[in-house]
């Protein structure tokens, strides 16, 4: 049982390393970074307490929002998905990513207090 899980995971990692283009790997590294930052913030909140709750919320939502936007960018940039995003060029996707981040940061800075 555990054997098959391990073999599935190793196979997945192999496929990933070989078949994903570099650009997507860059974005994946960014996603991992965002996720870790969010997880660490949540850990702090669990351990120490929610004292400046609005700050915690703003930081956590910033991580979550950035993660989502980066995922959207990854989906839109992926050449395998070009059929579904004919009207959206990668540059357009990146520009949307930047604009959405501006709005997200505006809200986050407002809420961080």
Binding residues for other proteins (CB under 8 A): 22, 25-26, 29-30, 32-33, 36-37, 40-41, 44, 48-49, 51-54, 87, 89-92, 94-95, 98-99, 102-103, 105-106, 109-113
Sequential DSSP letters for 79-113: GGGTTT-TT--HHHHHHHHHHHHHHHHHHHHHHH-
Q: What are phi and psi of 48, to 5 degrees?
A: -95, -30
Specify the residue, 7 or 54, whose C-beta has the smaller distance to other proteins: 54
Give the Cα-Cα-Cα angle 71, 82, 13 (nearest 5 degrees): 50
CB of 110 to other proteins, least distance (A): 6
Q: How far apart are CA 22 and CA 24, in angstroms?
A: 5
Residue (6 or 113) nearer to other proteins, CB:
113
Give min distance, CB of 82 to other proteins, in A: 11
Quote the least distance from Cβ 40 to other proteins, whole Å.
5
């Amino acid at each position: 049982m555990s054997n098959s899980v391990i073999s599935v995971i190793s196979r997945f990692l192999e496929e990933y390393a070989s078949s994903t283009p570099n650009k997507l790997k860059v974005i994946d590294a960014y996603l991992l970074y965002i996720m870790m930052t969010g997880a660490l913030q949540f850990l702090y909140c669990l351990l120490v307490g929610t004292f400046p709750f609005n700050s915690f919320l703003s930081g956590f939502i910033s991580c979550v929002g950035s993660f989502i936007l980066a995922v959207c960018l990854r989906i839109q940039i992926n050449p395998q998905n070009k059929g579904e995003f004919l009207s959206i060029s990668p540059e357009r996707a990146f520009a949307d990513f930047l604009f959405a981040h501006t709005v997200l940061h505006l809200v986050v800075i407002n809420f961080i207090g």
